[in-house]
Amino acid sequence: MRLVLDPAAFAELREAAEFYEESRKGLGKEFLKDVETALDSIARRPKLWRKLRGRFRRCLVHRFPYGIIYAVEDDTVYVAAVMHLRREPGYWDRRRH
């Protein structure tokens, strides 16, 4: 499976990693590693996680309060958001690949 991150999802990922790195040296790298692990799991078994609405699914990131919102399209996984779990639900719904 090929992974495609929406530009807004990439920005969310970068901002979260910067926040964690500023909080504690090395924590941003740990966050990125856990997100990478989740993305690898999604690429291997994209239909494993529950559907949220329509074609979108959510995979939770281990150790951090984030979820990866994605949709499967043929041989591509489109990542719509790297969402903090306390953020307004569905804000990413406007992102369509």
Query: CB within 8 A of 88, min separation 6: which ones?
Result: none
The answer on pLDDT for 58 being more than 90 is: yes
Classify domain 2-85 at the CATH superfamily level.
RelE-like (3.30.2310.20)
Distance CA 24, CA 8 (A): 25
**Average confidence score pLDDT of the chain:** 90
Decide if 59 contacts 42 (C-beta within 8 A). yes
pTM attached to this predicted model: 0.88
Residue 62: partners with Cβ closer than 8 Å, 6 or more residues away: 34, 37, 38
